[in-house]
Structure 1
Amino acid sequence: MKRLFLFTLLVALLMISSCKNDNDDQIVCTQQYVYGLNIVVLDATTGNPLVEGVTVEATDGSYNETLQLIPGLEYSFAGAGERVGIYTVTVTKDGYQTYTSSPIIVTRNVCHVIPQSLTVNLQSN
């Protein structure tokens, strides 16, 4: 009887030790594509969003990207998708002064980049 009890106990311990706990430090990442830069451009006088004829460029060393208006991100130019870096953003539009940002640092966590947002108020000429 003791042997049966010990055998049962041993089997139970082996089963418990072989079980995986699916919650132990496992990180589940989404399939979402995350943009590192989200830039909103406004007219400095009226506060109205500017999108027509606006060019937003992000530069990180030799890397250069023209940001795009993304559906679902109202009046926001987005870029640097899933790309870390130290970016300088330049915004141009005819009839307005060119804007150049201070360095913007885009970092990441274990899954995605951490988005950085900037609102640019363009001054008319």
Structure 2
Amino acid sequence: MFSTFLVTTSCEDTDDQIVCTTQFVYGLNVIVLDASTGNPIFQDIEVKAVDGMYQEILELVPGLEYAFAGAGERAGTYVVMVTKAGYQTYTSAPIILTRDECHVIPQSLTVNLQTN
């Protein structure tokens, strides 16, 4: 599902030199669903990633109206928080983003929000 905006790490090893792509890779990719119906939730919602003092509101990915992305090219240990009126706030376990010689290695998360 994320293949339209995720890039697999793409580096070429030519004569012991690594040549990286210039494509920007998001580290976090989050889909939020209503736990009762399984329908995607993407309006009037906040999806936030926190890594220590760093905080970022994840944005909807153009062309994929249900996917939120963030932590672009930024390795770290993130906690994802999802808030929406009428639902219980969701807080993830820590998600570790690593990187290779070229890009951050993406991690995907599906959140099933429970109604109040």
TM-score range, shorter chain: 0.7 to 0.9
| Distance (whole Å) between structure 2 residues aligned to residue 24 and residue 74 of structure 1 | 42
What's 1:51 paired with? 42
| Distance (whole Å) between structure 2 residues aligned to residue 122 and residue 108 of structure 1 | 29
SS in 2 for 1:75: strand
Question: What letter is aligned with 2:47?
Answer: V
RMSD value, Cα: 1.3
What's 1:106 paired with? 97
Larger radius of gyration: 1
Instruction: Classify 1:48/1:109 alpha carbon distance in 2 versus 1 (closer, same or farther; 3 Å).
Output: same
Match of 1:69 among 54, 60, 71: 60
What's 1:14 paired with? none
SS in 1 for 2:14: coil
| Distance (whole Å) between structure 1 residues aligned to residue 57 and residue 103 of structure 2 | 21
Question: What letter is aligned with 2:23?
Answer: Q
Deviation digits for residues 51-108 of structure 1, max 9, x if unmatched?
Answer: 0111000000000000000113341110000001000000000000000000000000
Question: What letter is aligned with 1:70?
Answer: V
| Distance (whole Å) between structure 1 residues aligned to residue 49 and residue 95 of structure 2 | 10
Question: What letter is aligned with 2:68?
Answer: F
What's 2:9 paired with? none
SS in 1 for 2:17: coil
Uncovered stretches (5+) of structure 1, i.e. residues with no partner = 1-21
Question: What letter is aligned with 1:72?
Answer: G
- The percent of aligned pairs where both chains have the same amino acid is 71
| Distance (whole Å) between structure 2 residues aligned to residue 48 and residue 26 of structure 1 | 46
If each structure's strand is expressed as a fraction of its own residues, which one has the higher value? 2
If each structure's helix is expressed as a fraction of its own residues, which one has the higher value? 1
